[in-house]
């Protein structure tokens, strides 16, 4: 495979990295785990003049709980670290489970949560469950920083609001009252499969009612998307198979999948419908799984 | 025939196991030589285009580039695998015929420079209309892939045995069905590579090949060299499955680059290039008509197939003949008609993939037979048992079958799968299916015309008798033949497996063997090895006779001990006898060779499918279908095989698992996809979905007690036979689970979902 020439940088601190990115501007591409970037370079889809590796930035590689904020996940945390995290396993098992079913061990040991987000593809497995868990992100650059809801980060297929010079540094899952969450990925084999369609949900169950629900669809539109009509329909409603099925129908109706190598648009719409009702049922009955 | 064996019949550890699991084993791509250059081939970006000009001057100027070659620098002799259609050139000169066709090559100091140099080669193309749909390749007005082949017909077959029309006219029930099989690729884990080097006029190539002999033959032919000046060395091989049987172009380009530069050159394919080189399963359109009597006994079968050959022939003529030749194996009927067109298209060339030619026609026929059984209200297991082939029979196309326990395989599969109970009680969405398969135990005739034996072997007992080395040109590509052949050698010699060594394969050291294809080695290489071992044993007994002063008839040798049959306690070790032999008579050597008897009929194409013996097997599979998504869960698979005497049970079951694994992939998960320009859309392992360990169901693999009278110790094949029933078995299990048939491979979740949806819509419409 052909790897184009590039200049390689390994800043030692976050501020050094930001300064470097500010200086290089659009000529630089950020390298975290490299599972997407290096592949794109090898197949000729990307030829950056400069690669800025974040490998030395241990400061954004940890998972911790901050009182009043929630669980903060450094953007360089790899998928294996997410699924092995006792903190996440205990509080939101759905996220480690999503990371675990994502790819092979080798890729899970390399790929980072930040890369999975910044890459911006609609089939990414972590953004749906993170959005369901109301995650916010922090973007840092030489000139300052900003925070936003993760769902506002994506604006098109492989398009995000990140500006040249900005680095995604951390993801925060706020403390919350949700009682359950899950991500169901429909892949075409048991392991190492990309999502044909995926659905993440979180629910807040109160007695026999749903006080609130979040439904997030992967590979069902140019960006990862929330099925708000389905969420609105469920809010305050008594839990029943019929209600969950109706939510599935509404989610599918809102989805805008395209024909792809992994499935036709029609099939993907059907999957959005089926997986939505199944994910809701699972989160309602089993909690964060 | 003694049933008391010391070495064969045991699951001894693999002889290559420790090296492979520790990573110490060296494959071709691991080898390095002083001054070695890296070579890469430039391929066509177009499916069909005329070459107007090639300018290599910029590439030649790039520092680190040592040679750039095009068609002007290489022999123009066309090559291929099937001699009737040699249609490939080392590099294209007039036009390119598929995306990936070879145009030029470079040799450079490192791999990176190769890619840069390839980008600097300027090729001017004039794009031509391409033939991408094989079903229309023969239509009037279609462009020609090769000008000399009218209507793009590569191979045309019309065979009739018995009187098909009469039998169909008299049949109680006649049914026709149409099925389509997809392109799949072997996807061996080890990419193809070759390292070529010259010493004077002698060419040595280390190559990941399934057949050092055919490589040697075709390379010598291409360069006009005596075979003795071409040395092919096969290091460890990481799978082939039919895709590494023929010259790949890497060795031709590498040999020329090595000659020009005077340095060793390593050439290799990456994963995407492997998909483009291909030689995998043909896509195939299959119409089948069968007439049966009221009990379901098959009276006549008509098969009318079209195959997508891709741009070149490869071994495709044989694939085309095999498609029809092996169809009458597992069931007995007298009237059979087979019509086939293999057509050229502007897509990668197809060739031999595990089960060569047989799996897709079996899928079609086994699915069709279940449809026939459903029409008649007969249990699918019963219709197969009624028609099962018996031993000592001859197929309508003149294949002589000796041992055959088809019926016993079915009956045993019925029991261990709990068929009758499940057939009655499985709920909707769960289903069980059965299919049969049979395969050759080695091809009756070589790929190119020659009267050379098919296999040969030497055994050298080391001078002190503590070890013996088997020299064979056979190829262990992962199936375990090195282990099995050492077991056979030790058994024949009366020696111990643990003291065996093996050299395989190096054409300068090891004797001729046609290699690993057509499931031939345990039988054919084994026959040569047995003969070599018996020659050693005879010399050991002769020497022991004089050492013990006992008649040779009174002596035997087992497990490394020579002993008197009549006088207890009179014994010597093999080791001391062998040493004495060396001292008194010189090296203790054995040699053997195997040539099959003349086989088959005299009609055109009668040779393809002939074999000294055939394996038989039945597979039952149970599936569970998610009705809302079409997702298929494989609950379990039961495989029962008649494969003759088993030399190594663990390796045998490993072959069943492996063949099933590939058959499973072809059934539901794998398909090579193309865009409208003839470019492969999934030449990688994310979207070309070979299965993972997680996808494998529980498998129960059994053999029936069987002995093939023509084979060494009664052996037959196992390596490919277990792929043949799998596709049809899945089709039938899915049919049983949901009551609708998907008529094209792969039987994807989406196709299953769509079939269910259409069924629901039909039923709703009927109600309304």
- Answer for the pair B50, B126: CB distance below 8 angstroms, yes or no: yes
pLDDT at B2: 47
The mean pLDDT of B756-762, rounded to a whole number, is 95
CA distance linking residue B706 with residue B729, whole number of Å: 23
Q: Which residues of chain A make contact with B749, given a CB cutoff of 8 A? A: 188
CA distance linking residue B707 with residue B405, whole number of Å: 10
CA distance linking residue B112 with residue B103, whole number of Å: 19
Q: Taking chain A (289 residues) in consecutive chunks of 10 residues, what is each chunk's mean pLDDT?
A: 90 97 95 94 92 96 96 98 98 97 93 97 96 98 97 94 96 98 96 94 98 97 97 98 98 97 97 98 98
- Is the CB of residue B5 less than 8 Å away from at least one CB of chain A? no
Q: Which residues of chain B make contact with A192, given a CB cutoff of 8 A? A: 685-686, 692
| Alpha carbon distances (Å) from B521 to B211, B535, B629, B740 | 11, 20, 44, 41
Instruction: Look at domain B283-441+611-762 and name its CATH class.
Output: alpha beta
- Is the CB of residue B62 less than 8 Å away from at least one CB of chain A? no
Percent of chain A with pLDDT over 90: 95
- Is the CB of residue B681 less than 8 Å away from at least one CB of chain A? yes
Residue B690 reports pLDDT greater than 80: yes
Q: Would you tell me which residues 247-276 of chain B have a C-beta closer than 8 angstroms to some C-beta of chain A? A: 270
Domain A180-286 sits in CATH at 3.30.390.50
| Mean pLDDT of chain A, nearest integer | 96
Interface contact flag, A261 B748, Cβ < 8 Å: no
- Is the CB of residue B748 less than 8 Å away from at least one CB of chain A? yes
- Is the CB of residue A197 less than 8 Å away from at least one CB of chain B? no
The tens digit of pLDDT for each residue in B126-146 reads 999 999 999 999 999 999 999
The mean pLDDT of B202-218, rounded to a whole number, is 97
Integer distance in angstroms from the first to the last C-alpha of chain B? 71
Q: Which two structure tokens, joined as six digits, stand for B319?
A: 């694939």
Tell me which residue of B219, B249, B223 sits closest to B92, measured CA to CA.
Answer: B249
Assess whether the region B31-128+189-239+244-277 and the region B283-441+611-762 belong to the same CATH fold.
Answer: no
Domain B31-128+189-239+244-277 sits in CATH at 3.90.1170.50
Residue B417 reports pLDDT greater than 90: yes
Backbone angles phi, psi at B690, to 5 degrees: -70, 150
CATH of A60-173, one of 3.30.465.10, 3.40.640.10, 3.40.50.300, 3.40.50.800: 3.30.465.10
Assess whether the region A60-173 and the region A180-286 belong to the same CATH fold.
Answer: no
Interface contact flag, A190 B695, Cβ < 8 Å: yes
CA distance linking residue B555 with residue B572, whole number of Å: 10
Q: Which two structure tokens, joined as six digits, stand for A166?
A: 């900005």
The tens digit of pLDDT for each residue in B638-658 reads 999 999 999 999 999 999 999
Tokens 């007005």: give the residue. Answer: B141
Where do the structural domains in chain A lie, given as residue ranges? 7-53, 60-173, 180-286
Min distance A220 CA to chain B CA atoms (Å): 15
CA distance linking residue B716 with residue B440, whole number of Å: 9
Strand partners for B343: B153, B308
- Mutation for testing the A interface, residue in B687, B690, B696, B761 having most A CBs under 10 Å: B687
Q: Which residues of chain B make contact with A267, given a CB cutoff of 8 A? A: 750, 753-754
Of residues B115, B681, B686, nearest to A2 (C-beta):
B115
A204: part of which helix (H) or strand (E)?
strand A197-206
| Alpha carbon distances (Å) from B307 to B98, B310, B438 | 17, 9, 21
Q: Which residues of chain A make contact with B753, given a CB cutoff of 8 A? A: 267, 270
* DSSP-assigned letters across all residues of B567-591: STT-EEEHHHHHHHHHHHH--EEEE
Strand partners for B505: none
Other CB atoms within 10 Å distance of the CB of residue B559: 13
Interface contact flag, B692 A264, Cβ < 8 Å: no
B17-24+450-594 folds as Aldehyde Oxidoreductase; domain 4 (3.30.365)
Where do the structural domains in chain B lie, given as residue ranges? 17-24+450-594, 31-128+189-239+244-277, 283-441+611-762
Q: Which two structure tokens, joined as six digits, stand for B763?
A: 């039923």
| Alpha carbon distances (Å) from B420 to A184, B178, B295 | 36, 29, 19
| Alpha carbon distances (Å) from B580 to B491, B561, B571, B572, B649 | 21, 14, 15, 11, 36
Of residues A191, A194, A267, nearest to B750 (C-beta):
A267
- Is the CB of residue A142 less than 8 Å away from at least one CB of chain B? no
Q: How confident is the model at residue B3 (pLDDT cuts 50, 70, 90)?
A: low
The tens digit of pLDDT for each residue in B108-128 reads 999 999 999 999 999 999 999
Tell me which residue of B379, B363, B439, B438 sits closest to B414, measured CA to CA.
Answer: B379
- CA-based nearest residue in chain B for residue A274: B628
Interface contact flag, A264 B270, Cβ < 8 Å: no
A7-53 folds as 3.30.43
Interface contact flag, B687 A194, Cβ < 8 Å: yes
pLDDT at B4: 84
pLDDT at B82: 83
- Mutation for testing the A interface, residue in B269, B686, B688 having most A CBs under 10 Å: B686
Percent of chain B with pLDDT over 70: 100
Q: How confident is the model at residue B1 (pLDDT cuts 50, 70, 90)?
A: very low
Min distance B191 CA to chain A CA atoms (Å): 13
Residue B17 reports pLDDT greater than 90: yes
CA distance linking residue A71 with residue A83, whole number of Å: 14
Q: Would you tell me which residues 225-244 of chain A have a C-beta closer than 8 angstroms to some C-beta of chain B? A: none
Interface contact flag, B694 A190, Cβ < 8 Å: yes
């Amino acid at each position: 495979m052909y790897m184009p020439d590039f200049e390689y940088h390994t800043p030692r601190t976050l501020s050094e990295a930001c300064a470097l990115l500010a200086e290089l501007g659009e000529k630089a591409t950020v390298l975290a785990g490299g599972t997407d970037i290096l592949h794109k370079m090898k197949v000729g889809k990307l030829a950056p003049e400069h690669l800025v590796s974040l490998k030395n930035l241990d400061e954004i590689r940890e998972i911790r709980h901050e009182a009043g904020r929630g669980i903060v996940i450094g953007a360089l945390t790899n998928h294996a670290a997410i699924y092995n995290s006792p903190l996440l396993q205990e509080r939101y098992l759905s996220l480690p489970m999503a990371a675990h079913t994502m790819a092979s061990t080798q890729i899970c040991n390399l790929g980072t949560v930040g890369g999975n987000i910044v890459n911006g593809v609609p089939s990414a497995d972590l953004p749906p469950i993170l959005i369901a868990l109301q995650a916010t992100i922090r973007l840092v650059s030489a000139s300052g920083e900003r925070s936003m809801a993760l769902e506002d980060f994506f604006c098109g297929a492989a398009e995000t609001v990140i500006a040249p010079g900005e680095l995604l540094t951390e993801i925060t899952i706020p403390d919350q009252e949700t009682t359950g969450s899950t991500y169901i990925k429909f892949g075409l084999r048991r392991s190492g499969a990309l999502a044909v369609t995926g659905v993440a949900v979180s629910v807040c169950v109160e007695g026999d009612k749903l006080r609130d629900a979040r439904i997030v669809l992967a590979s069902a539109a140019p960006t990862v998307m929330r099925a708000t009509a389905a969420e609105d329909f469920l809010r305050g409603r008594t839990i029943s198979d019929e209600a969950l099925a109706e939510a599935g129908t509404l989610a599918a109706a809102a989805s805008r999948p395209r024909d792809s190598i992994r499935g036709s648009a029609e099939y993907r719409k059907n999957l959005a419908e089926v997986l939505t009702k199944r994910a809701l049922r699972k989160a309602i009955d089993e909690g964060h799984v | 025939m003694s049933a008391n064996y010391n070495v064969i019949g045991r699951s001894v550890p693999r002889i290559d196991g420790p090296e492979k699991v520790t990573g110490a084993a060296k494959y071709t791509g691991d080898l390095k030589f002083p001054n070695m250059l890296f070579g890469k081939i430039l391929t066509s970006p177009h499916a069909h285009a005329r070459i107007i000009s090639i300018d290599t001057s910029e590439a030649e100027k790039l520092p680190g580039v040592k040679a750039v070659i095009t068609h002007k620098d290489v022999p123009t002799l066309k090559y291929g695998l099937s001699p009737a259609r040699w249609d490939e050139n080392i590099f294209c000169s007039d036009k390119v015929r598929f995306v990936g066709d070879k145009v030029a090559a470079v040799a450079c100091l490192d791999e990176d420079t190769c890619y840069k140099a390839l980008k600097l080669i300027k090729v001017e193309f004039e794009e031509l209309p391409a033939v991408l749909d094989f079903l229309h390749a023969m239509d009037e007005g279609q462009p020609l892939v090769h000008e000399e082949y009218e209507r793009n017909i590569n191979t045309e077959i019309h065979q009739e045995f018995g009187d098909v029309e009469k039998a169909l006219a008299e049949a109680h029930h006649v049914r026709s069905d149409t099925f389509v099989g997809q392109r799949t690729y072997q996807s061996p884990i080890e990419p193809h590579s070759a390292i070529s080097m010259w010493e004077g006029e002698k060419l040595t190539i280390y190559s990941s090949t399934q057949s050092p002999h055919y490589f040697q033959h075709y390379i010598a032919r291409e360069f006009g060299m005596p075979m003795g000046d071409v040395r092919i060395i096969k290091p460890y091989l990481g799978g082939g499955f039919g895709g590494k049987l023929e010259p790949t172009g890497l060795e031709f380009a590498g040999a020329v680059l090595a000659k020009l530069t005077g340095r060793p050159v390593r050439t290799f394919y990456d994963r995407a290039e492997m998909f483009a080189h291909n030689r995998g399963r043909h896509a195939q359109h299959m119409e089948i008509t069968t007439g049966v009597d009221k009990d379901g006994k098959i009276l006549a079968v008509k098969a009318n197939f079209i195959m997508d050959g891709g741009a070149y022939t490869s071994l495709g003529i044989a694939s085309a003949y095999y498609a029809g030749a092996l169809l009458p194996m597992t069931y007995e009927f007298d009237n059979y008609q087979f019509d086939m067109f293999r057509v050229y298209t502007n897509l990668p060339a197809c060739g031999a993939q595990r089960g060569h030619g047989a799996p897709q026609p079996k899928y079609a026929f086994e699915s069709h037979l279940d449809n026939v059984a459903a029409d008649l209200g007969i249990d699918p297991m019963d219709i197969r048992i009624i028609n099962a082939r018996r031993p000592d029979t001859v197929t309508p196309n003149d294949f002589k079958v000796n041992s055959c326990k088809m019926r016993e395989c079915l009956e045993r599969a019925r029991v261990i799968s709990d068929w009758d109970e499940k057939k009655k009680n499985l709920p909707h969405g769960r289903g069980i299916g059965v299919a049969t398969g049979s395969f050759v135990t080695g091809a009756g005739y070589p790929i190119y015309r020659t009267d050379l034996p098919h296999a040969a072997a030497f055994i050298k007992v080391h001078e002190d008798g503590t070890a013996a080395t088997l020299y064979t040109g056979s190829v262990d590509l992962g199936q375990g033949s090195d282990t099995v052949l050492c077991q056979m050698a030790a058994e024949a010699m009366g020696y111990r497996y643990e003291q065996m060594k093996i050299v395989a394969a190096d054409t300068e050291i090891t004797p001729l063997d046609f290699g690993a294809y057509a499931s031939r080695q345990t039988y054919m290489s084994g026959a040569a090895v047995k003969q070599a071992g018996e020659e050693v044993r005879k010399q050991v007994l002769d020497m022991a006779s004089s050492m013990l002063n006992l008649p040779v008839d009174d002596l035997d040798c087992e497990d490394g001990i020579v002993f008197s049959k009549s006088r207890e306690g009179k014994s010597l070790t093999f080791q001391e006898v062998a040493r004495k032999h060396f001292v008194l008579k010189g090296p203790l050597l054995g040699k053997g060779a195997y040539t099959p008897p003349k086989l088959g009929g005299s009609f055109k194409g009668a040779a393809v499918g002939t074999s000294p013996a055939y394996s038989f097997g039945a597979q039952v599979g149970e599936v569970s279908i998610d009705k809302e998504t079409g997702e298929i869960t494989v609950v379990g698979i039961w495989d029962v095989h008649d494969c003759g005497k088993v030399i190594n049970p663990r390796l045998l079951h490993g072959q069943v698992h492996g063949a099933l694994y590939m058959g499973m992939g072809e059934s539901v998960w794998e398909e090579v996809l193309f865009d409208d320009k003839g470019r492969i859309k999934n030449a990688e392992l994310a979207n070309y979905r070979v299965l993972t360990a997680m996808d494998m169901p529980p498998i129960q693999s059994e053999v029936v007690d069987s002995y093939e009278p023509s084979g060494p110790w009664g052996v037959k094949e196992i390596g490919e036979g277990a792929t043949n029933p799998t596709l049809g078995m899945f089709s039938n299990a899915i049919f049983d689970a949901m009551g609708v048939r998907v008529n094209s491979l792969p039987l994807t979740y989406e196709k299953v979902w769509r079939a269910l949806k259409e069924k629901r819509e039909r039923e709703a419409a009927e109600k309304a």
